[in-house]
Amino acid sequence: MLTLDYHPPCDWAWMLDFLGARAVAGIETVSATAYRRSLAISGCCGILAVRPHPAANRVAITLSDGLLPVQAAVLARVTALFDLALEPTVMLSHLGTLAAARPGLRLPGCMDPFEQAVRAVLGQLVSVAMAAKLTAKVVQAWGDPLPGYPGWRLFPRPEQLAILAPEQLNALGMPLRRAQAIIHIARLCLEGEFPLTPPADVAQGIKELMTLPGIGRWTASYYALRGWQAADIFLPDDYAVKQRFAGMTVSQTRRYSVRWQPWRSYALLHVWNSESWRPG
């Protein structure tokens, strides 16, 4: 068993609920006490399980034998998914009363940026539950079965999605334009042209993502939020954000959010999760 420490506070109930609502059948299971998923890294594959121990400010990670050769890379991805590297003191001080009610909220990252890019596209204009169901269909259709683990699969690799015709994805229940966007992202990844790591200029990186077919501002920003785990992203045109900022235009909301720089991603989490909050 491996362990990782973190700086408190950390709201594990919220984090696991967030991931559980988005869990994709075949590659993830989430309970009130643990997160499990399949993973492939550098030709190695297997199952990992993450169990938080809040009293010790620590998480325990168990890996199947297939992932032991790449355990350092797995730990790095677990750190990213659960935002374990965050030292929250400065962020909480900066957000002030906005974060006071739920100081343990953390920014969920991802285990695989390519997977997160595909999931961001599949989440366009559909509910969280529908996005998870669509992703599960993609996994069942093109994800390799995980040897030794009946019922488990691996998320499809870029080369598996890059060769598809848009109509094949469209048949699963997504719009053709969304299918084309996924295939284009997969092909760019194979060519080394898709930004799987955070660029030096995140704002410019988002603008460049928006030039890709089927990638609008919301999708590009959400990918930056989770795929890059960028700390200063705000979504003024998000549906829930518009509800909190009722009576304000998108431009006014964006200007209001400047007060939370450079921690606007965390401010966004608190806005999303504080139904009674309204701008002062």
Catalytic residue among 11, 83, 112, 238: 238
Question: What amino acid occupies position 257?
Answer: S
- C-alpha dist (Å) from residue 240 to 19, 32, 92, 218, 253: 18, 25, 22, 13, 12
**Burial degree of 198 (CB within 10 A; 0-12, 13-18, 19+):** middle
* Residue 112 is a catalytic residue: no
Residue type for position 280: G
In whole angstroms, give the CA distance from residue 6 to residue 58: 6
Nearest-10 crossing angle of helices 12-21, 128-142: 60
> Among candidates 102, 105, 2, 12, which has minimal Cα distance to 55?
12
Cβ–Cβ < 8 Å for 50, 33: no
Residues noted as catalytic: 238
